Amino acid sequence: MTEIPDISRRHCDSCGKSLPDGELFYHCRTEVIAAKDETIPNLKHPDKLIAQALSEIAGKDENELLDEIYQEIILQLCPNCRIILLKHINAMLHKGCKNCAKCGPQPTKKKGKLLKFPSHTAKD
């Protein structure tokens, strides 16, 4: 996990601009969490599944393994860098397909929030 930044000497984490007391700045906190939507392929031989999982993590550093599962990113941004960050996020969201069966509907903007992700309903 990321340590909480020292706010006694506040600087923009992107451009380095000083963020003096009383001035507007933005605190951005983002979590990146691993997800996998698969079922266990073969329960007849769980020992092989466990052996495969252990071989995949063998030799990796503990912090490297944890970073593959969870990361927390905390940024303090000046107003200009906040706008740049939002432009980057919006650019990432508007690339690729627009509503294919594989990816589903794209997020839509909601007043007061950056994004509202559509709910998925099972269609069998």
Alpha carbon distance 36, 81 (integer Å):
32
**pLDDT above 60 (res 11):** yes
Query: Amino acid identity of 41?
Result: P
Tell me, what's the pLDDT at 28?
94
Alpha carbon distance 85, 110 (integer Å):
18
Tell me, what's the pLDDT at 76?
94
Residue pLDDT, tens place only, 49-104: 788 888 888 888 888 888 888 999 999 999 999 999 998 888 777 765 555 555 55
The runs of H, that is alpha helices, within 39-102 are 46-57, 62-69, 79-93
Tell me, what's the pLDDT at 19?
93
- Sketch the domain layout of the chain as residue ranges: 7-98
Alpha carbon distance 76, 19 (integer Å):
9
Q: Please state the rounded mean pLDDT for residues 11-39.
A: 89
